Amino acid sequence: MMKLLLTVSKAIDALNERIGRAVIWLVLVTVVVSAGNALARYMFNSGSNAWLELQWYLFAAIFLLCAGYTLLHDEHIRIDVVFSKLSPRTRHRINVFGAIFFLLPFSVAFLWLSWPVFVNAWVTGEISPNAGGLIRWPARLLVPVGFFLLLLQGISELIKNIAMLRGDIPDVTPEHEPTAASILQEQEPQ
């Protein structure tokens, strides 16, 4: 059974890796749109709410669609000062507990609550109230899609942490990975 679950985990990891690498390019698009919008406003005294809203939509896409990618690469926020001092087994136990009682329920709740908001925007053809604003359903769709990808990655991380605790796969957690706090301590003058 664990072999099948690890295969599922590997597929989820591959999906979030591909999506994350593709969405990273939206950062460049966002910068170009932002710079173009700023230049149009300040140099030509011309602007558009649509371009401003497009910036917001792109930022939302980057943030939401890369949440699973961020979790895959263990770059999410946590208290590394404490976490890095714990043994790998304790870290895996905390990750399992956090996934079961926080990450997965939170992701399911957001997915459940955001889907009707998207459907309503789609059905009604919701448009921004700003003059020249964009349609809203693409931005509304980003929320359930982002939380779905985060939910999938949470399941993948749960599988991997349980497998490492059981000894089914080698523990890949570095024993003493550097944290921001430890790097800063090393740089302080003695």
The phi, psi pair for 94, rounded to 5°, reads -65, -40
pLDDT in tens, 46-78: 778 888 899 999 999 999 999 999 999 888 777
Host H or E run for residue 47: none
Distance (Å, whole) CA 97 – CA 43: 54
* 49, 128 contact by CB (below 8 A): yes
pLDDT in tens, 126-172: 999 888 889 999 999 999 999 999 999 999 999 999 999 998 888 87
Distance (Å, whole) CA 185 – CA 190: 10
DSSP 119-171: HHHHHHT-B-SSTTPPBSHHHHHHHHHHHHHHHHHHHHHHHHHHHHHHTSS--
Quote the pTM value: 0.86
pLDDT in tens, 83-109: 778 888 999 999 999 999 999 999 999
